[in-house]
């Protein structure tokens, strides 16, 4: 409603009256129009600004209502899938119950062959019906393919049935922010996977600079907060929120040291290592900022000063990812960083193989000038060499005159005589004699000669030999000196001027010596020299430490420090055997997986998936290793070695020493008897009795054979071990002198040998095959895995009924109960979901009514009020018009 | 002292009465003339004459004809008119803006947003269906078009406001010239002595011109003792005596529009007028509409960057065999300085190379090093990293784009786990293209092949995790802050509240202006009744004086007949 302005108090004029009346009329008319529009549209407001707070609430309510409409569609769709799945599963139970009845009927010896084949045919027909059900499609979606809804999830070749779906869950929003599952995968309903073949082995991938922070701590990741690094005087707060990799964190720490100090941060194979420079000030501490946990998570929380030593962070335990390199698992490569003063000159030496063997190799720089009297080594001509034995320290003495240059070599090899100073002194008029004195505390070798130059070079050699610390020989390196002449004298001019120093020429075993031109040889030249040596480059990868560079173009261009040194550390573990490969048996097929081309975990998984072995390989939930499962129902599945240790190292061998005997033969275990269960006849004719009773694992059985007191003579003993190719226990008798044949005979009343796979099923004895001069008896794999599910049970049941294998029928009958339980569980789950969806739907109805009610309150017009207002406004308008008419009629002129 | 002098007194009185009647007649005639200020005849006793010891009055004298107005009130009225004009201009724009937004209706942006995210929900319902994805793409296009249209309509409003600003400059010039001319005329007519009679019609015209000018700008008029007015705007004078300073229009570019600013031609300094229609229009153009465009842009940016960030980490029902990125300003500088509309951060992304024949995929992690320390990743670095992937070929185009193709036809590629935002920033595997409300659109690749709409997180067509995130994106807090829904609500609320505030401010100004105008009309305009009374008074005065003349005539007759 328009406002009305006050009447001026002083004077009134005709124009004032007409303007006021016009304004009043306009205002009344506007209000009338507004009310009329409210009544006709039913809306209290047409533009939001007419009632801004109500309009804002209304806008949100309108959106909620729109969203609820979509939610209803979602609910209905989810409900339709749930019902369709429920209906499909409905008939599974009855089929399974029928199959169980058939199985029980066939589980006796009294059934005729024709009855048995009729029963088998019944089961076969049940399998076909179930396959059809399992491949059912609804609204273009395969109901039981997990999240692979586009293709039929079950494929059969008659003998076996493979699952092509996954365990994926499809979800849609049943309400705002409420995700609801709309499918049940074939795995949940029918059971489509074998038990996971997983060992306890942690592949323990190595930390690299590129390891993402989210992969650390077994995949828990690092909270990207701040850390406080202090040298006791000043503190630097480092915000790592922009860091993505552990290398970023190291770089950020290096870039933000406490003021005035420098920090070297290195990513080791397990964690971070921080080293504060040796300049003055306190030791390094790393603390949290505020109530953060970043430093602790990074493994470098260290509130107490480290002193001068480095801060070695905890193991950050990166998880296995598809891109983890297989060369980076199961151990770390030995590494050394050779740090020189200043920038652009640090060098990294890293072993090519994982393992501890390359630890402890030291790199030393040797000043070539000190070692020979001849012309100096020029930068660019560096050489490198490796010695696995200690090397003696050496120094050259270049005397005035000819034929007299000497090379002194320490009598004891090693580091002890490095940096020994050698000087020539005046020993007085001693004639052709020399004195030698070694001051071990000052590392100084003093050679005294005749003050008139009468001392011959041989006299010095002899004197040194007598003293014993060093030996001397002629140094032929300088061609100008001519050849050796024992009678060449040493001039008195040389006294006090000719000096020598052993420098870094001596070293312990396992040292790499790089001969350089100090002050001129650059890091790049050292790297080239190391790479040029075939022995070194075969073992080590040498490269620049790029974190030390000042500018990219300057990397490696600064000279190295003569005393810089580094020793390889942190090598551990063993390399993964990728050359042998894996041997997978699934059904009738054996698949040999050649793993030699695999570089990453994903390559390995791809090789397994692409092998056609119908297996599913994936990284386990903890990110420590890979799991392999079979997808082929009705088939025996096992993973074994192909002559090496690949499967064992990856932890995916299905038959290992720790396999429990009770798990063998599909859980039937190993049947033993009191006393000897089977006898091994060795080639020497000795019958070795083996009692399996009490053993719980395969390794214990092997140990019993190998540890038997009568089987300890190396000449005659038979060795039991896990088969080198495939799975099973293998016996080897290398006694070529023996006359008997290695054989096993099962004792009466025991089926242990058969159950362990040492004799074929149904027989009681077996003999070894000859392999070269050895005799080898390879057992069967009696720990095959199988898919735990409806189809596996039924396929096996069909075959067991066909062959009349009563034990198997019994086992599978019990298995059918498990299957039935799974199906019923899935069904009840679906039923429950249906109920929940119904109740959500009911709640949605309530919500919708409430929302509409609220919306109506906000923006809909109250008709009674509006019409009342309209009437009132009409009356006021009428009055205004009347008044206008009357007022304008009044005039003094009428009365004149 | 003589009879003749008395006759002269009567004569003067008759003239005064006639003048009075003329003034009354003029007032009555102009009773309804807008801007007319009523006049009054000022009468005063004529000077006395000494007659012996006596001082005798000599009748009435007409002192002048003056206008009845209150200069101070007029000035206040003009100021209120300026304020009202300003806020009405703003209110006008606001209500047009509200109509454009169409909130509370079914065709607003809010509905487009809901429909789009609803269609993403349908992907969750039927992930296998390409036609459902196509529907989502179409809804995405509708949303993009709606945003484009809202943007372009608001830009049209802005441009209209701007055009009016240009027109106002001409109006100002014509009004100031008129006032300067009237100043001269009034000065000439009144002879520099305004205390006597006013130059009636001229002053009225000048008042009307001043009021018109006040509607346009907040002008201050100061009447000089000589009767001319000097006009000031801010600290600058606009009219002084017979001189009017010309204003000109100067153009600068703001938010893609060449906007006009009014300046004084002589000094090239901007006209300091915050009120009046001009002030209102400038505020509407720069703050209301400009601010609206900025907010719409921010909202659109949040939508594009947030949505693309999720989408870029996902895989559709099919993978790519070739792809070209957005353009960068320099292929060798770090990606966060390469002129991209959205800035990537330190992180990584994965490229999954799939062989369609074997169905096997290989994942490659590409580091995007933007930690601000060294070895920052440039587009050229990305090209060499991607080119190093077996099966992929990456190159730089002459347009400074990244081009990805595969080596052979069974090989395809897709993307995952982009923690750096580089993919979204480079426009690789994105849903939306563009970076503002003006140019938001659905990526052509997705438009032509809706199966490229990424719903899966673990491989081509494998699951619907990404679609779950996308469907819930509207209500998901972004960067720990507000969700897009909340941002949108705030955006609407700010506009609506701004509109409501302007409306109430404008109502207040209107009441004030009308009150002042009422007061002014009360003083300046004609009351017919009052004039009737004056008319009778002058009539009677005339009659009385006529009688006096008759009496003197009789007396003279007597004298003549003596």
Contact A63 B372 (CB under 8 A): no
pLDDT score of B54 more than 80: yes
Q: For residue A821, what pLDDT is reported?
A: 93
Q: What is the DSSP string of A444-502?
A: EEEEEE-TTS--BHHHHHHHHHHH-SEEEEE-TT-GGG-S--TT-B--GGGTTT-EEE-
Q: Which residues pair with A437 in a beta bridge?
A: A446
Q: How much of chain B, in percent, has pLDDT values that exceed 90?
A: 65
Q: Which residues of B touch A7 (CB under 8 A)?
A: 518
Give the one of A11, A63, A248 whose C-beta lies nearest to B110's C-beta. Answer: A63
Give the one of A56, A242, A255 whose C-beta lies nearest to B345's C-beta. Answer: A242
Q: Could you tell me which chain A residue has the CA closest to the CA of B487?
A: A60
Contact A48 B348 (CB under 8 A): no
Integer-rounded Cα radius of gyration of chain A: 45
Contact A210 B365 (CB under 8 A): yes
Measured in residues, chain A has a length of 896
Instruction: Compute the nearest-CA separation of A52 from chain B (Å).
Output: 6
Measured in degrees and rounded to the nearest 5, phi and psi for residue A830 equal -65, -40
Q: Which residues of A touch B125 (CB under 8 A)?
A: 73-74, 77-78, 172, 182
In whole angstroms, give the CA distance from residue B304 to residue A314: 41
Both tokens of A278, joined, read 């040796």
Helices vs. strands in chain A: H and E counts, helices first: 18, 42
In whole angstroms, give the CA distance from residue A342 to residue B266: 66
Give the one of B101, B124, B518 whose C-beta lies nearest to A172's C-beta. Answer: B124
In whole angstroms, give the CA distance from residue B3 to residue A61: 96
Which residues are CB-neighbours of B156 under 8 A, at least 6 positions away?
A: none
Both tokens of A350, joined, read 């890293």
Q: For residue A210, what pLDDT is reported?
A: 87
Contact (Cβ atoms closer than 8 angstroms) between residue B513 and residue B521: no
- Residue B454's alpha-carbon distances to A799, B360, B416, in angstroms, are 45, 19, 10
- Residue A495's alpha-carbon distances to A72, A138, A369, A372, B403, in angstroms, are 105, 104, 20, 19, 75
- C-alpha dihedral (B255, B256, B258, B262), degrees to nearest 10: -10
- Residue B201's alpha-carbon distances to B26, B33, B124, in angstroms, are 11, 11, 80
Both tokens of A734, joined, read 């290398």
Q: Which of A394, A465, A395 minimizes the C-alpha distance to A436?
A: A465
Helices vs. strands in chain B: H and E counts, helices first: 13, 18
Q: Could you tell me which chain A residue has the CA closest to the CA of B104?
A: A59
Alpha helices in A107-166 (DSSP H): 113-134
Q: For residue B194, what pLDDT is reported?
A: 61
Contact B128 A140 (CB under 8 A): yes
In whole angstroms, give the CA distance from residue A724 to residue A728: 9
Q: Which of B136, B228, B49, B183 minimizes the C-alpha distance to B452?
A: B136
Q: For residue A197, what pLDDT is reported?
A: 65
Burial class (CB in 10 A: 0-12, 13-18, 19+), A75: buried
Contact B125 A11 (CB under 8 A): no
Measured in residues, chain B has a length of 562
Q: For residue B255, what pLDDT is reported?
A: 87
Contact B493 A78 (CB under 8 A): no
Q: Which residues of A touch B97 (CB under 8 A)?
A: none
Measured in degrees and rounded to the nearest 5, phi and psi for residue A336 equal -135, 140
For residue A42, what is the DSSP state? -
Both tokens of B228, joined, read 């001319």
Q: Which of B433, B435, B421, B364 minimizes the C-alpha distance to B394?
A: B364
Both tokens of A669, joined, read 């275990």
Instruction: Compute the nearest-CA separation of B492 from chain A (Å).
Output: 8
Contact (Cβ atoms closer than 8 angstroms) between residue A703 and residue A711: no
In whole angstroms, give the CA distance from residue B364 to residue A600: 10
Contact A8 B350 (CB under 8 A): no
Neighbours of A896 (CB within 10 A): 10
Terminal CA-CA length for chain B? 20
Neighbours of A715 (CB within 10 A): 9
Angle between helix B200-216 and helix B130-190 axes, rounded to 10 deg: 160
Reported ipTM exceeds the 0.85 cut: no
pLDDT score of B197 more than 80: no
Q: Which residues of A touch B128 (CB under 8 A)?
A: 140-141, 149-150
Q: Which residues of B touch A71 (CB under 8 A)?
A: 121
Neighbours of A55 (CB within 10 A): 26
- Residue A721's alpha-carbon distances to A697, A705, A718, A732, A767, in angstroms, are 13, 9, 10, 8, 17
pTM: 0.85
In whole angstroms, give the CA distance from residue A22 to residue B362: 82
Q: Which residues of B touch A59 (CB under 8 A)?
A: 103-104, 110, 489, 492
Distance, C-alpha A676 to centroid of its chain: 47
Contact B98 A52 (CB under 8 A): no
More confident residue, B531 or A13: B531
Whose tokens are 């009356």? That residue is A875
In whole angstroms, give the CA distance from residue B145 to residue B138: 10
For residue A380, what is the DSSP state? T
Q: For residue A1, what pLDDT is reported?
A: 41
Contact B95 A49 (CB under 8 A): yes
The angle subtended at Cα A192 by Cα A191 and Cα A194, nearest 5°, is 100
Q: Which residues of A touch B517 (CB under 8 A)?
A: 19
In whole angstroms, give the CA distance from residue B239 to residue B232: 7
Q: Could you tell me which chain A residue has the CA closest to the CA of B95?
A: A47
Q: Which of B513, B557, B529 minimizes the C-alpha distance to B211?
A: B513
Terminal CA-CA length for chain A? 41
- Residue A755's alpha-carbon distances to A234, A671, A760, A785, B169, in angstroms, are 71, 7, 9, 15, 106
In whole angstroms, give the CA distance from residue A575 to residue A278: 37
Angle between helix A14-41 and helix A863-889 axes, rounded to 10 deg: 160
Residues of chain A with pLDDT under 70: 1-4, 196-201, 280-281, 373
pLDDT score of B273 more than 90: no
Give the one of A55, A177, A252 whose C-beta lies nearest to B104's C-beta. Answer: A55
Both tokens of A891, joined, read 């005039």
pLDDT score of B546 more than 60: yes
In whole angstroms, give the CA distance from residue B376 to residue B373: 7
Q: Which of A351, A284, A349 minimizes the C-alpha distance to A312?
A: A284
């Amino acid at each position: 409603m328009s406002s009305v302005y006050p009447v001026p108090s002083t004077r009134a004029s005709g124009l004032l009256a007409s303007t006021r009346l016009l304004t009043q009329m306009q205002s009344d008319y506007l209000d009338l129009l507004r009310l009329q529009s409210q009544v006709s549209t039913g809306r209290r407001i047409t533009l939001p600004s007419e009632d801004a707070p109500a309009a804002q609430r209304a806008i949100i309510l309108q959106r909620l209502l729109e969203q609820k409409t979509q939610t209803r569609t979602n609910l209905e769709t989810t409900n339709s899938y749930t019902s369709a799945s429920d209906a499909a599963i409905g008939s599974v139970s009855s089929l399974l119950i029928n199959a169980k009845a058939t199985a029980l009927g066939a589980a006796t010896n009294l059934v005729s062959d024709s009855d048995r084949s009729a029963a088998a045919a019944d089961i076969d027909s049940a399998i076909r019906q179930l396959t059809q059900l399992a491949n059912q499609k609804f609204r273009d979606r395969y109901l039981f393919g997990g999240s692979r809804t586009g293709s039929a999830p079950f494929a059969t070749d008659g003998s076996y049935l493979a699952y092509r779906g996954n365990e994926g869950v499809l979800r849609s929003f049943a309400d705002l922010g409420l995700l609801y599952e709309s499918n049940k995968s074939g795995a949940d309903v029918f059971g489509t996977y074998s038990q996971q073949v997983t060992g306890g082995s942690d592949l323990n991938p190595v930390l690299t600079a590129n390891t993402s922070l989210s992969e650390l701590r077994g995949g828990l990741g690092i909270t990207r907060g701040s850390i406080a690094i202090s040298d006791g005087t000043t503190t630097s707060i480092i915000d790592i929120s922009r860091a993505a990799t552990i290398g970023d964190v190291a770089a950020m720490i290096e870039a933000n040291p406490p003021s005035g100090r420098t920090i070297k941060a290195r990513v080791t194979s397990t964690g971070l290592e921080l080293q504060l420079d040796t300049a003055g000030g306190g030791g390094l501490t790393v603390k949290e900022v505020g109530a953060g946990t970043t430093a602790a998570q990074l493994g470098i929380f260290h509130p107490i000063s480290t002193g001068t030593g480095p801060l070695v962070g905890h193991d950050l335990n990166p998880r296995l990812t598809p891109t983890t390199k297989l060369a980076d698992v199961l151990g770390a490569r030995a590494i050394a960083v050779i740090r020189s003063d200043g920038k652009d000159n640090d060098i990294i030496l890293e072993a090519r193989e994982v393992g501890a063997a390359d630890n402890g190799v030291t790199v030393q720089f040797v000043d070539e000038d000190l070692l020979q009297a001849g012309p100096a080594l020029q930068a660019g001509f560096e050489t490198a060499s490796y010695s696995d034995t200690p090397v003696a320290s050496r120094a050259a003495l270049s005397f005035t005159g000819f034929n007299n240059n000497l090379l002194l070599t320490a009598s004891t090899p090693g580091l002890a005589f490095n940096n020994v100073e050698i000087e020539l002194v005046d020993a007085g008029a001693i004639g052709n004699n020399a004195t030698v004195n070694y001051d071990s505390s000052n590392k100084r070798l003093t050679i005294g000669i005749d003050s008139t130059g009468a001392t011959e070079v041989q006299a010095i050699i002899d004197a040194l030999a007598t003293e014993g610390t060093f030996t001397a020989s002629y140094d032929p390196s300088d061609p100008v000196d001519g050849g050796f002449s024992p009678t060449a004298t040493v001039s008195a001019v040389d006294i006090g001027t000719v000096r020598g120093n052993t420098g870094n020429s001596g070293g312990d075993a396992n040292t790499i010596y790089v001969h350089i031109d100090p002050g001129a040889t650059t890091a790049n030249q050292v790297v080239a020299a190391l790479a040029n040596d075939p022995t070194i480059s075969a073992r080590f990868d040498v490269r620049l430490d790029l974190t030390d560079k000042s500018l990219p173009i300057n990397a490696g261009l600064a000279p190295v420090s003569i005393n810089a040194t580094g020793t390889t550390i942190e090598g551990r573990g063993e390399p993964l055997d990728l050359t042998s490969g894996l041997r997978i048996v699934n059904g009738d097929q054996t698949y040999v997986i050649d793993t030699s081309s695999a570089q990453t975990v994903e390559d390995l998984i791809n090789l397994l998936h692409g092998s056609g072995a119908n297996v599913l390989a994936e990284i386990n939930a903890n990110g420590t290793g890979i799991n392999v499962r079979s997808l082929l129902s009705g088939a025996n599945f096992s993973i074994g070695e192909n002559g090496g240790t690949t499967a064992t190292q990856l932890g995916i061998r299905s038959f290992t020493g720790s396999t429990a005997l009770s798990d063998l033969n599909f859980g039937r275990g190993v049947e033993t008897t009191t006393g000897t269960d089977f006898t091994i006849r060795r080639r020497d004719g000795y019958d070795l009795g083996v009692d399996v009773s009490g053993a719980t694992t395969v390794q214990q059985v092997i140990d019993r054979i190998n540890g038997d007191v009568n089987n300890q003579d190396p000449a005659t003993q038979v060795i039991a071990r896990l088969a080198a190719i495939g799975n099973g226990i293998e016996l080897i008798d290398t006694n070529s002198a023996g006359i008997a044949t290695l054989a096993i005979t099962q004792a009466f009343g025991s089926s242990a040998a058969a159950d362990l796979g040492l004799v074929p099923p149904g027989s009681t004895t077996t003999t070894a095959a000859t392999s070269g001069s050895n005799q080898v008896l390879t057992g069967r794999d009696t720990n095959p895995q199988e898919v735990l599910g409806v189809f596996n049970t039924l396929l096996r049941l069909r075959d067991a009924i066909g062959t009349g294998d009563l034990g198997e029928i019994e086992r599978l009958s019990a298995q059918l109960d498990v299957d039935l339980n799974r199906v019923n569980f899935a069904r009840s789950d679906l039923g429950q979901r249906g109920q929940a969806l119904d109740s959500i739907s009911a709640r949605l109805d309530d919500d919708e009514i409430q929302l509409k009610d609220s919306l109506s309150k906000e923006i809909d017009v109250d008709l009674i009020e509006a019409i009342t207002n309209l009437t009132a406004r009409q009356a006021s308008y009428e009055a205004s018009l009347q008044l206008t008419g009357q007022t304008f009629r009044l005039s003094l002129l009428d009365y004149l | 002292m003589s009879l003749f002098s008395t006759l002269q007194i009567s004569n003067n009185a008759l003239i005064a009465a006639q003048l009075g009647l003329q003034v009354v007649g003029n007032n009555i005639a102009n009773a309804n003339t807008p801007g007319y200020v009523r006049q009054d005849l000022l009468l005063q006793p004529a000077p006395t004459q000494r007659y012996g010891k006596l001082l005798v009055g000599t009748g009435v004298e007409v002192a002048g004809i003056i206008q009845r107005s209150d200069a101070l009130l007029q000035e206040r009225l003009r100021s209120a008119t300026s304020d009202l004009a300003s806020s009405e201009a703003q209110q006008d724009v606001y209500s047009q803006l509200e109509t454009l937004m169409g909130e509370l209706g079914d065709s607003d942006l809010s509905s487009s947003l809901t429909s789009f995210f609803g269609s993403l929900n349908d992907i969750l319902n039927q992930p296998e269906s390409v036609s459902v994805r196509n529907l989502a793409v179409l809804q995405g296009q509708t949303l993009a078009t709606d945003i484009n249209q809202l943007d372009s309509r608001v830009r049209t409003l802005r441009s209209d406001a701007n055009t009016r600003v240009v027109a106002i400059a001409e109006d100002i010039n014509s009004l100031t010239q008129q006032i300067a001319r009237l100043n001269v005329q009034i000065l000439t007519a009144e002879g520099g002595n305004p205390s006597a009679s006013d130059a009636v019609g001229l002053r009225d015209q000048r008042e009307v011109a001043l009021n018109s000018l006040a509607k346009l700008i907040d002008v201050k008029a100061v009447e000089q003792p000589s009767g001319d007015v000097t006009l000031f705007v801010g600290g600058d004078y606009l009219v002084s005596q017979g001189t009017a300073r010309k204003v000109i229009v100067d153009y600068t570019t703001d938010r893609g529009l060449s906007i006009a600013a009014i300046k004084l031609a002589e000094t090239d300094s901007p006209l300091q007028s915050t009120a009046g229609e001009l002030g209102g229009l400038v505020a509407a153009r720069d703050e209301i509409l400009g601010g609206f465009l900025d907010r719409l842009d921010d909202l659109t940016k949040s939508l594009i960057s947030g949505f693309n960030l999720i989408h870029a980490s996902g895989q559709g029902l099919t993978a790519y065999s070739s792809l070209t990125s957005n353009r960068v300003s320099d292929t060798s500088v770090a990606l966060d300085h390469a002129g991209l509309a959205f800035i990537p951060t330190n992180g990584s992304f994965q490229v999954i190379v799939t062989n369609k024949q074997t169905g096997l995929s290989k994942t490659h992690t590409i580091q995007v090093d933007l930690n601000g320390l060294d070895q920052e990743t440039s587009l050229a670095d990305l090209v060499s990293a991607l080119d190093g992937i077996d099966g992929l070929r990456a190159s730089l185009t002459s347009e400074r784009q990244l081009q990805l193709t595969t080596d052979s036809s069974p090989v395809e590629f897709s993307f995952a786990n982009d923690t750096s935002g580089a993919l979204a920033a480079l426009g690789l595997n994105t849903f939306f293209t563009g970076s503002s409300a003006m140019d938001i659109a659905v990526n052509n690749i997705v438009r032509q092949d809706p199966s490229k709409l990424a719903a899966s997180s673990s491989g081509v067509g494998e699951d619907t995790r990404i679609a779950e995130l996308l469907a819930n994106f509207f209500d998901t807090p972004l960067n720990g802050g507000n969700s897009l829904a909340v941002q949108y609500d705030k955006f609407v609320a700010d506009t609506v509240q701004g509109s409501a505030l302007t409306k109430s401010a404008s109502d207040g100004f209107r009441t004030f202006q009308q009150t002042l105008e009422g007061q002014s009309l009360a003083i300046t305009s004609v009351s017919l009744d009052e004039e009737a009374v004056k008319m009778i008074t002058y009539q009677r005065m005339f009659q009385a004086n006529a009688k006096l003349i008759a009496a003197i005539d009789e007396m003279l007759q007597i004298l003549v007949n003596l």
